[in-house]
Amino acid sequence: MRPLAVIDVGSNSICLLVALALRDGRLHEVAKRKDVAKLRDHIDADGNLSPEGQHKLLTAMHDFRTLVDAFEADLRAVATASLRAARNAPDVVARVREETGIELEVIDGHEEARLAFRGVSEGLGQLSGEVVCIDVGGGSTEIVLGREGRIVQTASVPVGALVASRQWLGSDPVTPEAIAQTRRELAA
């Protein structure tokens, strides 16, 4: 069986995982890479991923493509909150395809939540009872309620660690007032 590869283009980092499916159904990691591109910081005033952000994305995708090809792996590449937020996402996706051959799929928050839950289920084994899975990313937070290993409900909120720190906390040193404001914003 061919190795499997996944690329996750997030708001804070771009990650690659290459794994082999074992006969018993488990996955065995053979390669892992991470590029802290902070794409969310490269959404400009017009809501577009800036040329610098596109350069960072393309650099990582070229590097990851080389590794995926070396393993002759089947690939799925997804983008989450940073490209969901970018007005020029269709152009960026087309550029990634043209320059790297990678089909990058911009997924919605519910699909992101589903995939997070699936990852938790794989990592922890069969889940029983009720489980809440919370995935705090750079640009969004996904929340999943599961019961007996199945998804009951998902929610996606367009606030993540980068969004909260840039919008509300501000620069160092963080003031008590900024912390209080951030807590109010997150509660809302």
Q: Which phi and psi angles does 84 have, rounded to 5°?
A: -60, -35
Each residue of 106-158: pLDDT tens digit? 999 999 999 999 888 877 777 788 999 999 999 999 999 999 888 999 999 98
pLDDT exceeding 70 applies to what percent of the chain?
100
Specify the pLDDT at position 186: 87
Are 19 and 29 in contact by the 8 Å Cβ rule? The answer is: yes
**Angle of the 89-100 helix axis to the 51-71 helix axis, nearest 10:** 40
Q: Pick the closest to residue 106 from 84, 129, 132 (CA basis).
A: 84
pLDDT at 29: 92
Q: Which residues contact 16 (CB under 8 A, 6 or more apart)?
A: 5, 6, 7, 8, 31, 32, 33, 34, 64, 67, 68
Overall average pLDDT of the 85-98 stretch: 97
| pTM for this model (two decimals) | 0.87
Amino acid 42: pLDDT: 95
Task: Convert the pLDDT of each residue in 39-55 to its tens digit.
Answer: 999 999 999 999 999 99
